[in-house]
Structure 1
């Protein structure tokens, strides 16, 4: 028997590989197949490559890595598959194999290492926010855009307008409702979310409190590991998962609330991520059972706070790790429909990723740009007054190609309605 090209640490399961019958139902929903029409850049094509590698018929280096790297991990194929193929499990098993066994070119390795040396750390992000503010104000950004290589140009274009007052602000550790406590919850403040989208966290605390929730936000929390998990950095993800569990499991709460789609998706999978660690398996499962997207919690609570009318046509974009990975589609919409006067519309090609996909829009800038422009065209086609989506990566990605439409997190729009204020907008990249 030919030896597998995968190492022995959690390789893609033969049982899962055999579930794919190559029917092709995934093809219309796969972003890279829609862009290029290349079979090996479709889910069934990538599963075929995994199958060959598992049999030892192809090596991991070269074309195999290129096609797996090109996958956004959006999980639209999981939603569309009539056979229930767990492509998400296959991809999560394959990417760590590449990271362990395939040497990347030096520039690629340094770029990826730089991302993970910065984004999971709030203190480093705050230092970067100071440098970014100076960078934007001096006009260097426009000058550098002409000479930077594609990856650095993409990273620069995604940089939000830095508000130092928000970047260095702290959330209150405890927020109590004015009336009786209907539910006690803990909030993941996140890393990128808390520094560059701090106003989403404050809106989340206010809305939950207005609906009768006591909100605990521990100060000692850090990165949940989502970026690492989606990029195949399994050790990074496992370490961050353990730290997150240890921080939250001691809190006497009903739910652990998340307002970032990618983070929530990963945190709900901690039980799987730590399944082979006897010390953490049960703790991870108990933790994941409490994780809820903020829209899930709000959809279950009968609205008690008065909503002021918002006379606007609002387009809702399904973040992939909310809609496809978590299966949460109706809850955000039902919560938004509690706002009087609001007209909610869906987007054409709603199942296609916007091109953000964790770090994808930085490491794969060309296809990310094509997908971003395609999503922007679909948004403009419904002529909305406002666009809402529940993931900071999506907001940054779409703002790059859609600077003529205000956009925000759904909880910010609900917060504005409850407070009777004019809905704002997310900071636009320079």
Structure 2
């Protein structure tokens, strides 16, 4: 439900908060409550804070907004809520009311949201060996947003694989627009090529939209104006694409894209591919893999079953799913940059779960999650490679 233009944000937040019946079923699935054991760091506690702020019962303060800023937006709570609380909308509205946090690493996010500049800086950092000398500078000390960004920048993206190109269908079933996003267009270019190959093999015509930020980072950080500008750009690009469906290889963009394009089928590729799975054949691969299902894929896209169905079509592939909620890797958009210490603690639990599976490769669909997990593995001197599931599927696709 979208707020009406004449409805004041404070009133809307209060209405959303009143849906909560304080049952506490959200507590066991909340990663931050599991981390802190503090009621304020739970969905129920955050709803109470949001309601008090909206009604003017308390004044905004750093201590009061901290639990709201800590929220990962994983939406595990929304999925299990028996009262149907629209937690994501409440969180976004409350953060917009407060505005961006003073600790928000705006300069880093500005780089992330500009793919061309991000790509150039990434190459420059590797050429100059920046990962060796930048940590000595004040802005890149241990525990800083700069150091967290550097740990992600130092990683190699997926190397270009020998992915076969699917011929353009003579009579495509529909046209699918592929939204590249910002970070994903740089770090997940191979996964985007894989999506085009697989969708083409399934009978779709694929067109690529321009690469830019969908607005998710701004929306979840309280920058309502920035999010609105991105939404307008998404709408313009969608109209120019002339497509029937919109897909993105990064599930972190899905919720924001759906808000910008109501009435349009916006999904990750797995649902469309699973619907036409009889058109896809895969070569055997004797490999044991762990599948990390990002929170947004599980709770927004709801495509985890489709993903597992596709992977199980690869002969000899042994697929192990990383345990589900309350686990969260801690990346959560800008959270990994704003609260690197908390993100690392959440990641440690996730990596422990992965190691118990004794696998040869780690698959994850969300670029932020995969980079964050890969940085943690590198810090443990682990050689476990990471990959987007679409890349693996495209490598094994048999024309």
Q: How high is the TM-score relative to the length of structure 2?
A: 0.89
Query: Who is 1:40 aligned against?
Result: 40
DSSP-derived class of the 2:246 partner: strand
SS at structure 2 position matched to 1:323? helix
For the residues of structure 2 that align with 1:382 and 1:319, how far apart are their CA atoms? 17
Out of 388, 391, 397, the position equivalent to 1:412 is 391
Unaligned ranges ≥5, structure 1: 1-6, 167-173, 271-283, 421-430
Confirm or deny: 8 A CA contact 2:32 2:70 kept in the other structure. Answer: yes
**1:167-199 deviation per Cα after TM superposition (whole angstroms, max 9, x unaligned):** xxxxxxx98525542332111122211112211
Is contact 2:330–2:343 with CA below 8 Å preserved after alignment?
Answer: yes
Return closer, same or farther for 1:268/1:146 CA change in 2, 3 Å cut-off.
closer
Residue-pair matches, total: 384
2:3 corresponds to: none
Q: Report deviation, 1:299.
A: 1.1
1:65 aligns to 2:44 (yes or no): no
Of 170, 186, 192 in structure 1, the residue corresponding to residue 177 of structure 2 is 186
Q: Quote the offset at 1:364 in angstroms.
A: 0.6
Call closer, same or farther: CA 1:256–1:175 in 2, change over 3 Å. farther
Alpha-carbon distance in 2 for matches of 1:188, 1:392: 14
Q: Report the Cα offset of residue 36 of structure 1.
A: 1.0
2:14 and 2:55 in contact (8 A); partners too: no
CA distance in structure 2 between the partners assigned to 1:269 and 1:341 by the alignment = 40
* Alpha-carbon distance in 1 for matches of 2:121, 2:231: 24
Shift of 1:149: 4.4
Between the aligned partners of 2:324 and 2:199, the Cα distance in structure 1 is 32
Aligned to 1:49: 49
Q: Any conservation in 2 of the 1:175–1:214 contact (CA below 8 Å)?
A: no
In structure 2, what is the equivalent of residue 240 of structure 1?
A: 230
1:362–1:334: structure 2 CA closer, same or farther, 3 Å change rule?
same
- Specify the SS of the correspondent of 1:269: helix
What secondary structure does 1:215 align onto?
A: strand
Q: Which of 298, 304, 309 matches 2:284?
A: 309
CA deviations on 1:335-383 (whole Å, 9 max, x unpaired) are 2111111122222344421000001011011110000111000111111
Gapped regions of structure 2 (runs ≥ 5): 1-6
Q: How many Å apart are 1:294 and its aligned residue?
A: 0.8
Q: Match for residue 216 of structure 1?
A: 207
- Show CA shifts across 1:58-89 (max 9, x none): 11122221111111111111112222211111
Conserved 8 A contact 1:316-1:387:
yes
CA–CA distance in 2 between the matches of 1:337 and 1:145? 48
Distance 1:10 1:130 in 2: 45
Of the structure 1 ranges 136-145 and 16-25, higher mean CA displacement relative to structure 2 is found in 136-145
| 1:310/1:341 contact within 8 Å kept | yes
Q: Equivalent residue for 2:308?
A: 333
| Distance change >3 Å, CA 326–CA 349, structure 1 → 2 | closer
In the alignment, is residue 342 of structure 1 matched against residue 331 of structure 2? no
Provide TM-score, normalisation by structure 1. Answer: 0.83
